[in-house]
Amino acid sequence: MKKKLIGILCVAFVLSLCATVSFAADGWKPDGEVKFVVCSSAGGGSDIYTRKMIDIINGEGIADTKFVVDYMTDGGGESGRQYVSTARRGDRLLVAMEYGGFANMLLNTTFRIEDFRCVAVVAEECQILLATPKVKYASLKDAIEAAKNGTIVTIAGSGQADQQMYRMMCKEFGLTSSQMTYIRCSSTSEAITNCLGGHSDYVFARASACISYAEAGDLVPVVALQEKRFSGKLDCPTISELGYNTIKVPLWRGVCAPKRCSDKAYEFYCDAFRKMAENKRWSEEYCAKYQATPLAFFGADAEKYMKASQEAYLTNVANKK
C-alpha cells in the first residue's frame, strides 16, 4: 500500500512538473536582445531612469532578457521616437518616453501617443534651477533685478519641458525673452556642461540628472520649481518662498513599445515593468534617491495617462505657441 501511495505521489509530481513546463513554454518572452532606445545623451535623466529599470528587471529576476541601450539623439531625439513608432517588427524594441521628449514630439512632429503602445508610467519629477558657486548673482531676486536693469540673464535647458518652464518664469517675473534668454541644449547633461563652462548663469535640471553635481559642489541649487523643497544637497527655497506664485512642469517617466508590437510581447513588457515598479528597489534606489514621486500606470492605464498629458499639452501649450 505504501509503495502504491509513493507511486501515485510520484506520478502526480511529474504531471505537475509537466504542467508547469507547458505553461512556461506558452508564455512569450523575447528570443534575443531587446533594443531600448533613449532619445537623449548618455548621463541625462532619461538614461539614468532607463538603466535603473533595466538593472532592477534583470537583478531581481523579473526577466532574464538582455536590454541594449541605444542612444538615438538626432533631431532632438525625434529620430529615435520615429524609429520605434514605425518599426515593422516591434517585439524586441522599446523607447524611454518621458515628458520632455514627449512634448518635443507633440510640438515638432505629427507623431502622437496613438502611434505607440503605452507600456508604463513609473515616476514623476519636477525641475530645480541651479547655478555654479561662481554665479555673479547673490540670489535669484538679484538676477531678476539685474535683468530688469539691462543685464542679460541666461538659463540653459533641454527639451520642451524646460522651455515651457522658462516661459512660465519670464511671465511670473515680468521679464521678456531679451532680458532673460534661454539656451536650448540637446540634453540635460549638455545644459549642465554649458552652465559649468560659464556659458549660462543658470540651468534647469531634474534631481536625477544633477544630484551628483550638487554633492560634488559643482552646482548649487537656487530654487525648487514645485510646492515643496528638495532635500539633502538639493535643499533650497521653493519659488513661493521667494514671493512668487508656484509654477511647475511635472515630468513623468515612462516606457512605450512600437505600434506594431504584438499583444503577447506587449503583455510581457507591461507585466515586467509593473513588477519592476512594485519592487522596493525602485522606490528606494530611484524615487527616494532622486526625489521623484512614484507612479504606477501600466497598459491601458498608462495609455490613458499619456493621452491626458498629450491633450493638456496640445490645448494649453502647443496651440498657444
DSSP 104-171: HHHHHSS--GGGEEEEEEEEEE-EEEEE-TT-S-SSHHHHHHHHHTT--EEEEEEHHHHHHHHHHHHH
Closest CA to 160 of 50, 49, 53, 81: 81
Cβ-based burial of 19 (10 A; exposed 0-12, middle 13-18, buried ≥19): exposed
Q: CA-to-CA distance for 187 and 43, rounded, in angstroms?
A: 9
- Ordered by start, the domain boundaries in the chain are 34-125+250-320, 127-234
CA angle 299, 297, 50 (to 5 degrees): 90
The predicted model gives 244-266 an average pLDDT of 95
Residue 318 pLDDT class (50, 70, 90 cuts): low
Cross-strand partners of 155 = 182, 202
Q: Where are the beta strands (DSSP E) in 173-286?
A: 180-185, 202-206, 220-224, 251-258
Q: First vs last Cα of the chain: how many Å apart?
A: 84
42, three cell numbers: 548618455
- Pairing type for strands 34-38 and 202-206 reads unpaired
Please check the confidence at residue 259 and state whether its pLDDT lies above 50.
yes
Please check the confidence at residue 84 and state whether its pLDDT lies above 50.
yes
Residue 8 pLDDT class (50, 70, 90 cuts): very low
Residue 320 pLDDT class (50, 70, 90 cuts): low
What pLDDT is stored for residue 25 in this prediction?
34
Q: Taking the model in full, what pTM does it have?
A: 0.76
- Fold classified for 34-125+250-320: D-Maltodextrin-Binding Protein; domain 2 (3.40.190)
Amino acid in position 42: A
Q: CA-to-CA distance for 180 and 150, rounded, in angstroms?
A: 10
116-166 pLDDT per residue, tens? 999 999 999 999 999 999 999 999 999 999 999 999 999 999 878 898 899
Please check the confidence at residue 316 and state whether its pLDDT lies above 90.
no
Please check the confidence at residue 24 and state whether its pLDDT lies above 50.
no
In Å, how far from its chain's centre is CA 250? Answer: 10
CATH code linked to domain 127-234: 3.40.190.10
C-alpha separations of 89 from 86, 94, 116, 136, 309 in Å: 9, 11, 13, 53, 27
34-125+250-320 with 127-234: one CATH topology? yes
Give Dmax over CA atoms of the chain in angstroms. Answer: 100
Cβ-based burial of 71 (10 A; exposed 0-12, middle 13-18, buried ≥19): middle
